Amino acid sequence: MTAPPQLGSVVRVLLRRTIDTYRDSPQAVGWLQHNLDRFDEPLRVAIAGKVKAGKSTLLNALVGEEIAPTDAGECTRIVTWYQDAQVPRVTMFPRHASPRQLTIHRNQGALSFDLQGVPVEQVDKLQVDWPSQSLRTQTLIDTPGIASLSKDTSARAGAFLAPDDSPSQADAVIYLMRHLHATDVHFLESFYDQGVARATPINTIAVLSRADEIGVGRLDALNSARRIARRYRADDKIRGLCQTVVAVAGLLAQTGRTMRQHEFTALTALAALPRPDLDSMLLSVDRFSRTELAAPDSETRARLMERFGLFGVRLSTTLIRQGMTDPNTIATELVRRSGLDELRGVLSTQFAERRDLLKARSALLAVDLVLTREPRPSAAPLAQEVERILAGAHEFAELRLLSTIRSGVVKLAPEVLEEAERLLGGDGGSAAARLGLEPGAGPDQLRAAALEAVTRWQRRAESPMSSRAVSDVARLVVRSCEGVLAGLH
């Protein structure tokens, strides 16, 4: 079996052909050119969720620096793009004026932006250029909260993430939720649109955020949060809306990645206190910062509480007591426990590995929009081409089948469905992930497993006992397995 041409290049060719056909329409050309350029940019990942879900905190944790401003009240009111660049720079894009550069203020490490008197509702977006390793593979987009009290702020997030008139500007979405609310489900659903290539929950990951607070700051709080995330993962309805659900304690992750020496010193001093004293201080945040104590002083403690949270202080002092004396080990342990590593793993299998597919999908949506907005006879072959790519590209067939399986209409035993999902790339696109093997598995082992899977699903496809629907599923799975085999050669 010859490997089909790369999806990415096919779509690129299609984009160029469409630009050619629409040469005389500057608007269409501009839009398509923009999408062609977008093909080569890093993946755009939007971070969305209800107000105060911890979007900016998570963004900081992912970047490893406190660059997004955070606050106790509602904070992010403008869609803000964070992208990698040589020189730090903040640019404001007002709605009816040309972009303007803003001065950067830093307050205790955190950035703050001065809009120079322009009202927020007139700002389309902010763009933060920031030299950062973490932003090299993906551009992160911070969005205002949904269900915000200022209706306009909510509307701005909605318009950005699920615009009514054109495909979304984000390639993928991390959706943050505290505990699942009715509005959350509604919002997830709006991504799950019924258009051509949109019919997949494939570009969404849900994060159960502020995980440390779910268990009201108890030491086992994160276990509770993980259990809840597991339950959500198993919930049919949520599975139909997003790839997976991960629990993350954003504050802990952010602090873990940006911990400073003086904070560690203060924590060590606290850990040296007699146990009952510390426990009684840690009963409430007020007690913690107000108790009479010489060192660390009250202000330092208040600052610690802000950075670590009750759970973070409890956890780090416990870790120090247990014998961790190195700030780096503590920081790593905090990040590990926060669930951030798990999230980054998922991001890499679900988004980074699928980069081409997600980009192609965004581009096809863009072409589709032009074709429907400005139909013309000469574009008819292009429409057919879009259809052909959508129907023909096995990657899209896999996506469609994955969402069909997840919507629960295929009647097969749960463990069989689970295997089908895995082989179709539901847990990651690499050969090992598809075959359910360890990442380091050798080629022989992979080949054996793939051959075995092909045989098994071939049998299922041809069995007279299988219904038509099951045979169709099986045939597609077989094709995925063959793809894996072809990739091994």
Partner 1 sequence: MGVPAAIDLVDLALKATTAYQRPDLGARLEQTRKRLADPNVRVLVVGEFKQGKSQLVNALVNAPVCPVDDDISTAVPTIVRHAETTTVTLVRERGEGSPPERTTVPANQLAQYVSEAGNPGNRALLTYAEVGLPRKLLAGGLVLVDTPGVGGLGSAHGAATMSALPSADAVLLVSDAAQEYTGPELEFLGAALKLCPNVACVLTKTDLYPHWRRIMELDRVHLGDAGVRSEILPVSSMLRLHAAQTQDEKLMDESGFRELVNFLLNRVVARADDLDRRSTGQDVLAVCDQLSAGMKAELSAQENPERIEALVGELTRAKSRADELKQRSSRWQITLNDGVGDLQSDIDYDLRDRLRTIQREAEQLLDDGDPAVIWDQFSEWFHQQVSSAASANFVWAAERARYLASQVAEHFAEGAEVALPQLRFDQSDSMAGKVNALEQPDSEAEGIGGKLLTGMRGGYGGMLMIGMASTLAGLALLNPFSIGAGVLFGAKTVRDEKKRELARRRSEAKVAVRKHIDEVTFQVGKDSRDMLRRTQRDLRDHFSGLAEEVSTSLAGSVAAAQSAVQATASERETRIRDLKAELARIDGVAQRARALMGEAPSQLLAVPAGSAKSL
Question: In the complex, which residues of this chain contact partner 1 (CB under 8 A)?
Answer: 50-52, 72-74, 147-149, 151, 154, 178-183, 185-186, 189, 192, 194, 199, 210, 213-217, 221, 224-225, 227-228, 231, 237, 240, 283-287, 289, 302, 305-306, 309-310, 391, 400-401, 404, 407, 409-411, 467-469, 472-473
CA distances from 141 to 82, 126, 343, 453 (A): 6, 10, 17, 40
Residue placing its CB nearer to partner 1 in the complex, 124 or 189: 189
Residue placing its CB nearer to partner 1 in the complex, 64 or 250: 250
Paired with 44 in beta bridges are 139
Residue placing its CB nearer to partner 1 in the complex, 391 or 486: 391
CA distances from 425 to 1, 166, 211, 288 (A): 20, 28, 28, 48
Token pair belonging to 3: 């490997």
Q: How far is the CB of 73 from partner 1 (least distance, A)?
A: 5
Residue placing its CB nearer to partner 1 in the complex, 87 or 465: 465
Judged by DSSP in three states, 468 sits in helix
CA-CA distance, 426 to 224, in Å (whole number)? Answer: 25
Residue placing its CB nearer to partner 1 in the complex, 83 or 154: 154
Q: How far is the CB of 406 from partner 1 (least distance, A)?
A: 12
Residue placing its CB nearer to partner 1 in the complex, 224 or 430: 224
Q: How far is the CB of 386 from partner 1 (least distance, A)?
A: 15
Q: How far is the CB of 122 from partner 1 (least distance, A)?
A: 22
Residue placing its CB nearer to partner 1 in the complex, 412 or 431: 412
Beta strand residue intervals within 114-240, DSSP E: 123-130, 138-142, 172-177, 204-208
Which burial class, exposed, middle or buried, applies to 327 when counting CB atoms under 10 A from its CB (0-12, 13-18, 19+)?
middle
Q: How far is the CB of 192 from partner 1 (least distance, A)?
A: 8
Token pair belonging to 381: 């072959």
CB 337 within 8 A of CB 248: no
Q: How far is the CB of 55 from partner 1 (least distance, A)?
A: 12
Q: How far is the CB of 74 from partner 1 (least distance, A)?
A: 7
CB 386 within 8 A of CB 184: no
Judged by DSSP in three states, 47 sits in strand
Helix 340-347 to helix 327-338 angle, to the nearest 10 degrees? 60
Helix 55-63 to helix 340-347 angle, to the nearest 10 degrees? 80
